[in-house]
Structure 1
């Protein structure tokens, strides 16, 4: 199932947060959205998982306008892991994952054996079956992300949207989470802060700056020193991963511009 975003513009309180964004995530692709803080990544994704409505433009899933779908039908096609997660109640892991089955249940229907089987299978798939009875608040960051991915898998969507899924995770947890996402087989659209993770795990990247897409393509084509200097304000050195051959980046500060000689004051 593919995702097509066409002419997406988001305006809030007189400010344009996103301007005429076009991007595509093809069937089974892992597509990354990268850019500096405040560039518009989350604003785009919030429109894709319907937490926010765009001022203009469309989001289509397999050609269907996402905002024309009922909430239930939209949730059957697309699951999301936003940055902000409600944490007021200490649900158990089982209860968290069971929330993913709501789009498939009739109103006030009890959880069926089929629902329970889907939840258990999702937890096994992410290696978190042993956490089933634990309180969500007691889990580590990496364990929480595994459980949230399990909830998304239990939802049985075709598209998964992730907003900075590796934030606050250690290196091993970051790699584990992205490997789980890659192995899901879903069409995935994700915002990532770490450009090296994006380069290794994403099939294609869209670079956003000032609310507009400024580059799109394969990571090795997009992450050039010139673009990184312009968009991120850093000097980048490209190297190849010794095993995968993926582009990896080493960063340092751009050299300071030479100061101009001061002019003598006029008398």
Structure 2
């Protein structure tokens, strides 16, 4: 399932934070949104997963206006992991993941055997099956993040929106989670969907680490001051010139010895010489 943003602008408290953004993530593709702090990444994604409404423009899934959909219908198609996600109540991990099945349940929302099995498979996929009986509030930050990703996968979406999904994860976990999302099926048991090769999820994610973005994303959109500064494959987008202009750093590009993905080494930009 493809996701398309056309001319999207977002306002918060009367201030326009995102300006006329047009973005496309093709079916089964992983697309990253990168940019410095305050560039509008999270605000844009909040509009995509319907925490905010666009002041202008549209968000469409396979041509259908997402904001015009019934909430349950939208939740069957799109799952999200916000940057600050969680629960204030000490549910067990199994109960938190089971919340991902609510859009698929009718009436009183009683979980079926299939719901329970999908939740167990989602936990196993993120390496958190052993946490099922634990209280969510007692988990470490990294454990909580894995459980919330499992909840999103258990929702069985066609599109997954992730805002800084590697927060609180150590290096090995960051690589594992992004590899999982990158190769992920659109259903926890891997049953493909018609029209989507291998049933792969379409993923739209904001990432802070440019090297992770370059390694795992098919395309990148660079945001600066709420506007698109560049878009395209990571190798084409992450140029020293753009990184100096947008991020204020001097970048040295190298190739990953195994994947061939562009990787970056950073230095501070030289300070301008003082007038004599």
Query: What TM-score does the superposition give when structure 2 sets the normalisation length?
Result: 0.92
Q: How far off its partner does 1:88 sit?
A: 1.4
Q: How far off its partner does 1:39 sit?
A: 0.3
Which residue in 2 is equivalent to 1:63?
63
8 Å CA contact 1:100–1:152 kept in 2: the answer is: yes
Which residue in 2 is equivalent to 1:35?
35
8 Å CA contact 2:214–2:263 kept in 1: the answer is: yes
SS at match of 1:221: helix
Alpha-carbon separation, structure 1, partners of 2:241 and 2:129: 46
SS at match of 2:108: coil
SS at match of 2:243: helix
Alpha-carbon separation, structure 1, partners of 2:156 and 2:138: 26
Alpha-carbon separation, structure 2, partners of 1:169 and 1:120: 21
Mind listing any 5+ residue stretches in structure 1 that lack a counterpart? Answer: 262-267
How many matched pairs? 261
Within the alignment, does 1:20 sit opposite 2:35 as a pair? Answer: no
Which residue in 2 is equivalent to 1:191?
206
Which residue in 1 is equivalent to 2:242?
227
Q: How far off its partner does 1:109 sit?
A: 2.8
8 Å CA contact 1:145–1:177 kept in 2: the answer is: no
Alpha-carbon separation, structure 2, partners of 1:139 and 1:176: 19
SS at match of 1:206: strand
Which residue in 2 is equivalent to 1:155?
155
Report 1:76-225 matches (<5 A). 76-184=76-184, 185-225=200-240
8 Å CA contact 1:29–1:187 kept in 2: the answer is: yes
Alpha-carbon separation, structure 2, partners of 1:138 and 1:253: 39
SS at match of 1:109: coil
Which piece of structure 1 moves more, 211-220 or 102-111?
Answer: 102-111
Which residue in 2 is equivalent to 1:244?
259
Alpha-carbon separation, structure 2, partners of 1:14 and 1:115: 42
Which piece of structure 1 moves more, 206-215 or 175-184?
Answer: 175-184
Query: What TM-score does the superposition give when structure 1 sets the normalisation length?
Result: 0.95
Which residue in 2 is equivalent to 1:51?
51
Question: Looking at CA atoms only, which structure, 1 or 2, has the larger radius of gyration?
Answer: 1
Change (3 A) 1:231 1:135: same
Mind listing any 5+ residue stretches in structure 2 that lack a counterpart? Answer: 185-199
Q: How far off its partner does 1:199 sit?
A: 0.6
Deviation by residue 1:179-216 (Cα, 9 ceiling, x = unmatched): 12112121000000000110111110000000000100
Q: How far off its partner does 1:123 sit?
A: 1.7
Report 1:251-266 matches (<5 A). 251-261=266-276
Alpha-carbon separation, structure 2, partners of 1:109 and 1:10: 34
Which residue in 2 is equivalent to 1:265?
none
Q: How far off its partner does 1:134 sit?
A: 1.1
Aligned-residue CA RMSD (Å)? 1.1
Q: How far off its partner does 1:107 sit?
A: 3.2
Q: How far off its partner does 1:168 sit?
A: 2.5
8 Å CA contact 1:78–1:160 kept in 2: the answer is: yes
Alpha-carbon separation, structure 2, partners of 1:125 and 1:243: 24
